[in-house]
Structure 1
Amino acid sequence: MSTTPPPTPPPGNPQAPTAPLIMHGQYIKDLSFENPRAPQSLIEQTQPQLTLNVQVGNRQFDAKTFEVFLTIEASAKTPKDEPLFMLELVYAGTVTLGEVPQEAYGPLLFIETPRLLFPFARAVVANATREAGFPPLNIAPVDFVALYRQQLEANAGKTPGPGEGQIGHA
């Protein structure tokens, strides 16, 4: 039985291409839940009026590393406009962008990273409302592409850059 030597790598760059986006970690940055009328709010069986706002923002650490965060604000009121609950969640992740052109930063930071973060943030919101004694608030999927396009239109086609502002909807 003979052994053959391993094939030699082709000439050129010996490193494999880098991924366009590397997620380093995800975490709850801030979570606040208020149930100001408890226990009365848990006894009443009324259909609440829900308000929901989701925003995306980022903060730059170095040339290619960012913190991207989803801010989710949800509140419920009775038909008599009495508060049932108020929730605020800032759920974040740190990412490093690979070798991508500058014009890809906006879509990666405002569309792709929020898509990765959203299912986990959604679960935190559902668990927090359930643990507070309410039915779980299951947020419908968010169209981050549409949010990004709305921001582009609002900024006359200027792409939000790294560390610039937030995009969101109510």
Structure 2
Amino acid sequence: MADETNGGAAATENQPAGMQIQVLGQHIKDLSFENPNVGKIQIKEGESPAVALEVNVEAQRLGPDVFESAITFTATASHSGGTIYVLELNYGGAFRLQNVPPQAMEPFLLVNCPTLLFPFLRRIVADVTREGGYPPLWLDPVDFGALYMRRQQEMAKTAEKQ
């Protein structure tokens, strides 16, 4: 092994580095489980409560290359007798993003990052509902890309009206 060279280094020397993404951490920002009518509401066998779900995503800059992406999730289970439970969870992650083109930054923070976080949020929701005395609430996957596009369309319509 006489002469070893790093052929790849010379080839990429004049090219911009690719996007670099690092997950710095994940965290529960806020968690609330309200069980207001425990023992008061009787659900008959075969009946299912109505469960209303709400999902929102937000992002903010924490430092020069560090951003936080967070999912705000609310589940409200109700029955004819009233509210069974309300679960509110704000789950976030810190990400170091380098060499991400400016036009790709917002979609990345509001689509890709929440997609990485969602399986962990899903597990927390299932665990909390189970520990609250109910069957685990297993969430279906969320299409954060479609959510982002819908929000963009809503913002465009609002801008047109003004």
Task: Give TM-score scaled by structure 2 length.
Answer: 0.84
Please state if 1:128 is matched with 2:124.
no
Match of 1:167 in 2: none
Query: Percentage identity across aligned positions?
Result: 37
RMSD over aligned Cα atoms: 2.2
Match of 2:80 in 1: 79
Match of 1:68 in 2: 69
Match of 1:44 in 2: 43
Please state if 1:143 is matched with 2:147.
no
- Kindly indicate whether structure 1 or structure 2 has the higher relative contact order, using CA contacts under 8 Å at least 6 residues apart: 1
Q: Select the residue among 4, 7, 17 that pairs with 2:5.
A: 7
Match of 2:58 in 1: 57
Match of 1:168 in 2: none
- Residue identity matched to 1:47: S
Contact 2:65/2:96 (8 A) holds in 1: yes
Structure 1 position 16, deviation (Å): 9.5
Match of 2:115 in 1: 115
Unpaired runs of at least 5, structure 2? 158-162
Superposition misfits of 4+ residues, deviation over 2 angstroms: 3-6, 8-21, 43-46
Contact 2:26/2:92 (8 A) holds in 1: yes
Contact 1:47/1:79 (8 A) holds in 2: no
Task: Give TM-score scaled by structure 1 length.
Answer: 0.81
Looking at structure 1, the residues matched to 129 and 6 of structure 2 have their Cα atoms a distance apart, in angstroms, of 58
Looking at structure 1, the residues matched to 16 and 134 of structure 2 have their Cα atoms a distance apart, in angstroms, of 49
- Residue identity matched to 1:86: V
Unpaired runs of at least 5, structure 1? 158-170
| Alignment size in residue pairs | 153
Match of 2:160 in 1: none
Taking structure 1 as reference, are residues 48 and 6 closer, same or farther at Cα in structure 2, changes over 3 Å only?
same
Structure 1 position 154, deviation (Å): 1.6
